[in-house]
Amino acid sequence: MARAEPITPYRRDWRQGRAMSWITTVDHKRIGILYLATSLVFFAAGGILALLMRSQLATAGESFVTKNSYNELFTIHGTTMIFLFIVPFWAGLANILVPLQIGARDMAFPRLNAASYWFFLFGGIVMFMSFLANGGAARSGWYSYPPGSEKLFSPGNGQDLWILSLHLVAISSLLGAINFICTIHNMRAPGMSWMRIPLFVWTIEVYSFLLVVVLPVIGVGLTFLLLDRQAGTHFFLPEQGGNAVLYQHLFWFFGHPEVYIIILPAMGVISEVIPVFSRKPIFGYKAIAFSTIAIGFYSMLVWAHHMFSVGLPGFLNVFFMLSSMVIAVPTGVKIFNWIATTWRGNLIFDTPMLWALGFVALFTIGGLSGIFLAAYPVDWQVTDTYYVVAHMHYVLFSGAVFGAFAGLFYWWPKIFGRVLDERLGKAQFWLVFIGFNLTFFPQHMLGLMGMPRRVYTYDRHGLFEAYNLISTIGSGIMTLGILLFFVNVVKTNRTGRRAPNDPWLGDTLEWYTTSPPPPHNFDRLPYITSARPLRDLRRRLAERGNA
């Protein structure tokens, strides 16, 4: 098949330059690479914390870490993976791809774009510096419910630094979200109507609107908590007239949309990868686009299903139970459309496709366990057990991380000009896939057997020790898979095959320019006539060649 090539290649590599040029850059591609690199460093740090936790839980009565240290580990692990890894990772990938996919030369506000990265970096540094604070790091969970996070129970400075860190990261995300919205609305290529933009861009659009709506709410909750701790107020202290449940409402009004802030970009990646490696158009483009909007809307109507056990009125439990089940409908639309796209397609099982199919399989398992948790009588029985831990990781890890690796392997040639090693990539996939299921599937059984979450040790009760040991072994296998990725990156950087401009025969506009793209992205653009402009261009070139 004919490949659509740009008019002229750009010979100078924009990635080269002194360190100061990277520190002061406003180029969206460089900023995106900084985001990706930093978020992957935090991913590694969060993974190390998880390994320490699993080492402590491998056997009953283990004393590898103290109870206070364990509480710090699970608090910073959860916060790191959500706020410092996956949300900034999507910001980095979107920084690189959104202008390329819509035919723009840069983001709408380049300096604001750079500022958002530095807020994120400093927020992450503050988070990990809190381990050195008086009293250690925060240890009240990644959600920091009062009264556990109030001064009486968390007297050290680590909790205050945790709040400051999240404020900095929230500012970063808010600035980035506004920038994405302005870029997508105002800088699309000629002919690119809303029904012609790539599905990844659709997910970034909804992701950005969700951030703009919900970040101020969590900002208010964290500010009130900081005032309780430092200014003598009592917003969340019941004995002084406050209301601890108010914090939970503020947190989860942000927290549940945050799940879809994490998942929607991954769904966008899957919607780009599956049709390319099925050699078919995406099945139901409009249905997937509108289901993305529906998920964003419904995600703000289900937050209290995290609070079924706090004593809400019965009619509220029923409302949030039903709304939580309804949100499964647009998600199901996406899954069935992805499956329909592969039906009778010419499937190519390269590494990006493996990660995409792994996402679909594991995210479906996580969604099914979520349907059970959405029924509040079931939730009352398993809340705060390892069943919830298993569900959360099947949704967030299998969704976000599998989607992230699908995106990295798919777009790495475009970003860096070299193709990641396929053998190492496939070995990594299978190690992570097997290790993930060994780690988290047994935790469903642990939860149903009654093992509570957030405990640093346990007695030899039934199969507790056996399932925990299997889970710890799985985490080690998964770690080997993640390490293979970093080996792959080093190997590819040294000896990797140079990428052509369009190595996968992609559909979207980023494959029209060079690999990596020049500073100005494009010499010229084809007129956009569909959501698959590169396929249209290849067809026109083939027709011209046959004429």
Task: Give me the DSSP letters along 455-474.
Answer: -S-----TTHHHHHHHHHHH
| Residue 498 bridge partners (DSSP) | 418
Contact 392, 492 (CB under 8 A): no
Does the active-site annotation cover 77?
A: yes
Does the active-site annotation cover 444?
A: no
Q: Exactly one of 25, 79, 80, 106 is catalytic; name it.
A: 106
Does the active-site annotation cover 536?
A: no
Residue 419 sits at φ, ψ, to 5 deg, of -95, 125
Q: Exactly one of 79, 154, 172, 383 is catalytic; name it.
A: 172
Q: Exactly one of 28, 139, 306, 532 is catalytic; name it.
A: 306
Does the active-site annotation cover 172?
A: yes
Contact 420, 382 (CB under 8 A): no
Q: Exactly one of 453, 532, 535, 538 is catalytic; name it.
A: 453
Amino acid, res. 335: I
> What ranges make up the beta strands (E) of 378-501?
418-419, 497-498
Tokens of 214: 């919900």
Q: Exactly one of 256, 418, 532, 535 is catalytic; name it.
A: 256
Q: Exactly one of 27, 258, 421, 465 is catalytic; name it.
A: 258
C-alpha 325, offset from chain centre? 22
Other C-beta atoms lying within 10 Å of the C-beta of residue 157: 18
Does the active-site annotation cover 28?
A: no
Q: Exactly one of 28, 139, 249, 334 is catalytic; name it.
A: 334
Does the active-site annotation cover 271?
A: yes
CA distances from residue 424 to 4, 44, 498 in whole angstroms, order as listed = 29, 19, 17
Q: Exactly one of 77, 229, 249, 391 is catalytic; name it.
A: 77
Q: Exactly one of 35, 142, 247, 355 is catalytic; name it.
A: 142
Q: Exactly one of 39, 144, 165, 173 is catalytic; name it.
A: 173
CA distances from residue 481 to 383, 450, 473, 493 in whole angstroms, order as listed = 31, 31, 13, 19
Does the active-site annotation cover 391?
A: no
Contact 439, 467 (CB under 8 A): no
Q: Exactly one of 39, 271, 341, 472 is catalytic; name it.
A: 271
Q: Which residues contact 512 (CB under 8 A, 6 or more apart)?
A: 4, 6, 501, 502, 522, 525, 526, 533, 534, 537
Does the active-site annotation cover 306?
A: yes
Classified as helix, coil or strand, 282 is coil
Does the active-site annotation cover 142?
A: yes
Does the active-site annotation cover 173?
A: yes
Q: Exactly one of 323, 331, 383, 471 is catalytic; name it.
A: 331
Active site residues: 77, 106, 142, 172-173, 256, 258, 260, 271, 305-306, 331, 334, 453
